[in-house]
Chain A
Amino acid sequence: MKADKRGKGKLLVKVIFVLPLFLLMILNAEAQKLTDTISIREVKVFGKYPIEEAGTMTTHIDTLVLQTLQTHTLSELLSSYSPVFIKSYGRGSSATVSFRGTAPSHTQVYWNGMKVNSLMRGDVDFSLFPVYFIDGMSLQHGGSSLQSGSGALGGSVIINNTADWTDRFSVRYVQTLESFNTYKEYLNLGYGNDKIQFKTRVFSDRSKNDFPYFNYGVLPMHEAVQQNAEYNKSGLLQEIYTRFKNQTLSAKLWAYQSDRNLPQLMSFEGDARKETQNDQNIRAVLSWKVVKEKSKMEWLSGLNMSRLKYFRSSTEANFVNYDSHNEEQSFTNEFNYNWTPKETISFDWSFNTSYSKVSAFDRAKKEGYDHDRLEFSLLNSAHIQLLPDWVVSFLARSEWYDGQIVGFIPSFGTEYWLDKEQLSSFKFNLSHNYHQPSLNDLYWIPGGNPDLKPEDGISGDAAFAYKGKEGRAKFSGQIAGFASLIDNWIEWRPSVSGATYWEPVNLRKVFVRGAEIQASEQIMTANAMQFNLRGNYSYTATSNIDAVHSVDESRGKQLMYIPKHKANLFAEADFRSYYLKMNVPFTGKRYITSNNEESDYEKVLNPYWMVNLTMGKKLDWKRLLADVSLNVENLTNQDYMAILYRPMPGRYYSLTVQIQFRK
């Protein structure tokens, strides 16, 4: 019997590993003269997880990955280790996401339970989250995101900070020296006992970012050095936790500042320009949790304040084009109650209210708007284990905002285990979600359209997840297919009235479908060697199925800048105190016209893959631990573009030293 099972397991793993490679071959065949992929990826698969997660598509980012990328930003992490596509304007520049082929505002981000998306723009700049400030992270794909909140037509990113109750006194200092005059420093201080814990983290990341590149955007073409791309980011995260009997009280404060110069396109040859963006945000969350045998209760109160300043001027002409000051403040209160009368039944209720205020004003144009929004949200959900190997879940949200009621946002999920150990399962989820227009969509001057309707999405996914063990090897995988239909998709386009400004309209009906494959394997050998291998691959076709008029050729075509294929591979080998890590993300071809024009001169952005290599050694002097590593990014010196005519660096290096003391 056992042997049989093992055989099945082997086969499965092979299927999971081979399938992406097979897809790759297809890819290669279709993309003439273009480089191509690799796939496979990380996993964290299910089984013995809480009943609340049954039937949901949730990916947990491994703490090993968080550790590996501690000196990077969240955008780099997602781009290298998840199926989420990151659209980055360059090294250090802002980065938005496309989760399952959707728009940036269709991904919601929750920091310790509080939504942190910009109410003005709807999106999140992922380059402003240092991985160092993250203790736990998960992705909720598609409809599974309704557990956290509505609006995530693509999915949600959940970021958490947690207490380490074993810490008595610890200091950790990390310093990185990187090419292009980049200096990163991180410090973590922790102390406390098993009743109270304090944790303080600070970081600084600054770079001149003056990387060399070949400028093929001007005549004559020439070797150039990136100009005006300096950035300086710093932040503080303070946490206090206290527990007492069955209660936990925690307070977290996040303060962050980023000052960036924004470089011009390769083709720019005009007079001196100053273009800068300054971001500041302060976030605070207070949480009180009571855990009883059959119930859990949490009250959460949060504050999120952010300020974004965008400035652009022609310095010689002393002409200020934009001097835009945007401020957002929101206050959130949430009450969650979970009741688990039996091990097989769990109910959740959650009530959330938030009040937000934004102010946008451009001092150069003397235009702007002030607006506020009050929202209420109610969640009812139930997870029921009908049979030992079968769980179903029902969820319904009701929301009220700006005087409108969205009465019923339902989701249904189910999971069926194929074995008693809960190693492999089938999952299915169907949901109806909607996304509110952002305040800029509604009120921006000029162009804001107060008559916009919310975007409306119906989505479903089905998945097969597997996890197993064979001798010294552990492996897991998940393969999922998804589809969603999003109506009233909001898009900014030139005013139909003929005015010179752009305006948002509920323009498109978008059909998104695709597949995600994740796999991982861990092998220990007898001679103190360990191998970790993770991979993932995602296929996303996102197309407009509602072209505007007869000559419009965008119908049925892939949306711009969203690749159909994305993959990444991570391999790690540990031998005694030495380690070698390789991370190979792949980004498929991206179209830059809505009708997917492609010829010698109709540019598409070519697919590219990066090879990043890290080698290091761990040193252990009992209470004092150290780690020295050398990292090579873009090992193959790939010349690529993430955005048309925005330069990206070739091969570059960094040296990281970490020292840790723990009492």
Chain B
Amino acid sequence: MKQILYLLICTLGFYSCSKSPVDTVFFDFTGNRGVYIVNEGNFMYGNSSLSFYDPQTRHVVNHVFQARNGAPLGDVAQSMSIWNNLGFIVVNNSGKIYIVDSSTAEYKGSITGLSSPRYIHFINSHKAYVTDLYARKITVFDPSTFKVTGSIPVGNSTSEFSQHATEQMVQYKNMVFTNCWSYDNKILVINTESDQLIDSIEVFKQPNSLIIDKDNKIWVLTDGGFEGSAYGYERPGLLKIDAETHEIERTFRFALGEHPLSLCLNAGKDSLLFLNRHVWKMAVSDKRLPDQPFIQSAYTALYGGFYSLAVDPSNSDIYVGDAIDHAQNGLIHRYNRLGELIDEFKVGISPGGFAFKTE
């Protein structure tokens, strides 16, 4: 009996604990140049986060969004784009875009009800495009009011696969080019005035990233799919396309089993950088793929090398994300334009996207 009493008393004792809410943390990045790092987190874990790094002071702040706004960022933050002192964060598997003040990280609004949003491209102060992996349409919204204003259908009924899944965007004159990565091999061309699909360019299988260089040539990196894929599996490639004529001017091929990704441009827009376990660099005038990596990763059979890549458009500093095991805080390596290590810092889980704050 006594023992029962003891236990009951002890049990009641545990009721007294309570949770204390975490206070809001205020940030002011006004005037600081810097880079936001979008940490994807894991699919269906809801553990994505946002970090801010100041290259001058070499100071990094993690969990910026949650610290300032009290709520988590969501599930798989895919990308962030800064426009007019606003940061638009695409939270892919939460089907939404969170908008924050890019100087304070304060929540300003959201665009919800999306399928699987990926990237944003701003056309003007009342028009922006959001690509989508599943919706088979590009959503048009007003970046000033955060209201959806329309959509551009991009469905392809002739394919046995659900096409087209749209990804990154680049603009030339009044044309936006977007790569269709998932089970696809197209670059779609959209007219920004009529919001109509006007052309498509066939490239190699699974184009995963694209950029436009100083000569208005569009470069497309393709990963070739994967072994066992019903869509097929081929050697990855790199293509150069003329933005005016939509003609493919040059192609490069990687070996089967390689996985190039994250095609970027340097500040002068005359060199390409991309990841293929290591960082590789080539001039837009080069006639062949580089033989030696530009920055070597500690790649081994159990460690996958670098995960993400971005180049500071103002000084060509190179930021490389290392996701380690994708279950702990990732590491960012910052190199100068010559590939010399300047700094390393820890961010959130699976650092995948970068947004440079230039204002």
The smallest beta-carbon distance between A602 and chain B, in angstroms, is 7
- Interface centre among A17, A320, A593, by most chain B C-beta atoms within 10 angstroms, is A593
Contact between B326 and A494, CB atoms less than 8 A apart: yes
CB contact under 8 A between A552 and B259, given known A17-B3, A40-B7, A265-B46: no
The smallest beta-carbon distance between A640 and chain B, in angstroms, is 10
Contact between B7 and A533, CB atoms less than 8 A apart: yes
The smallest beta-carbon distance between B220 and chain A, in angstroms, is 17
Q: Which of B27-35, B109-117, B196-204, B245-253 contacts A (4 or more CB under 8 A)?
A: B109-117
Contact between A270 and B137, CB atoms less than 8 A apart: no
Contact between A551 and B11, CB atoms less than 8 A apart: no
Interface of A is mostly: loop
- Chain B positions within 8 Å of A499 at CB level: 223, 226, 259
Contact between A498 and B261, CB atoms less than 8 A apart: yes
Question: Which residues of chain A from 600 to 637 have a CB within 8 Å of any chain B CB?
Answer: 600-603, 606, 609, 611, 636
- What 1/0 flags go to B53-87 for Cβ under 8 Å of A? 00000000011001101111111000000000000
User: Contact partner of A314 among B6, B72, B112, B115, CB < 8 A?
Assistant: B115
Contact between B302 and A507, CB atoms less than 8 A apart: yes
Q: How many A-B residue pairs have CB under 8 A?
A: 228
Give Cα A494–Cα B15 distance, bound, in whole angstroms: 42
User: Contact partner of B228 among A218, A265, A367, CB < 8 A?
Assistant: A367
Contact between B298 and A549, CB atoms less than 8 A apart: yes
User: Contact partner of A317 among B22, B96, B112, B135, CB < 8 A?
Assistant: B135
Give Cα A24–Cα B135 distance, bound, in whole angstroms: 52
Q: Which of B118-126, B185-193, B265-273, B327-335 contacts A (4 or more CB under 8 A)?
A: B327-335
User: Contact partner of B19 among A33, A36, A602, CB < 8 A?
Assistant: A33
CB contact under 8 A between A35 and B14, given known A268-B75, A367-B229, A592-B45: yes
User: Contact partner of A601 among B67, B223, B302, B323, CB < 8 A?
Assistant: B67
Which B residue sits closest to A531, measured CB to CB? Answer: B4
- What 1/0 flags go to A15-54 for Cβ under 8 Å of B? 0010001001000000001111110100000000000000
Contact between A644 and B3, CB atoms less than 8 A apart: no
- Chain A positions within 8 Å of B112 at CB level: 269-270
- Chain B positions within 8 Å of A601 at CB level: 22, 49, 62-63, 66-67
- Interface centre among B1, B49, B94, by most chain A C-beta atoms within 10 angstroms, is B94
Question: Which residues of chain B from 158 to 211 have a CB within 8 Å of any chain A CB?
Answer: 160-162
Give Cα A320–Cα B292 distance, bound, in whole angstroms: 42
Question: Which residues of chain B from 1 to 45 have a CB within 8 Å of any chain A CB?
Answer: 1, 3-4, 6-7, 10-11, 14-15, 17, 19-20, 22, 44-45
Contact between B226 and A364, CB atoms less than 8 A apart: no
A474 at the interface (CB under 8 A from B): no
The smallest beta-carbon distance between B67 and chain A, in angstroms, is 6
Contact between B67 and A270, CB atoms less than 8 A apart: no
Q: Ordered nearest first, which 10 A-B pairs have the shortest CB separation? A: A270-B95, A498-B259, A601-B63, A366-B230, A595-B328, A594-B327, A267-B74, A645-B46, A496-B304, A445-B228
Known: A21-B6, A551-B331. 4 other contacts (CB 8 A): A446-B226, A569-B11, A595-B328, A602-B63
Q: Can you identify 26 A-B contacts, CB atoms within 8 angstroms?
A: A21-B6, A40-B7, A216-B70, A217-B74, A218-B74, A267-B91, A271-B114, A314-B115, A316-B135, A317-B137, A493-B326, A494-B326, A495-B259, A498-B304, A499-B223, A500-B226, A531-B4, A533-B4, A554-B325, A592-B47, A593-B329, A594-B327, A602-B329, A603-B47, A636-B15, A645-B46
Binding site for A on B (CB under 8 A): 1, 3-4, 6-7, 10-11, 14-15, 17, 19-20, 22, 44-47, 49, 62-63, 66-67, 69-75, 91, 93-96, 98, 107, 110, 112-116, 132, 134-137, 160-162, 223, 226-230, 257-261, 275-277, 298-305, 307, 322-329, 331, 349
Binding site for B on A (CB under 8 A): 13-14, 17, 21, 24, 33-38, 40, 216-219, 221, 265-271, 273, 314, 316-317, 319-321, 364-367, 445-446, 493-501, 505, 507, 521, 523, 531, 533, 535, 548-554, 560, 569, 571, 584, 592-595, 597, 600-603, 606, 609, 611, 636, 639, 644-645
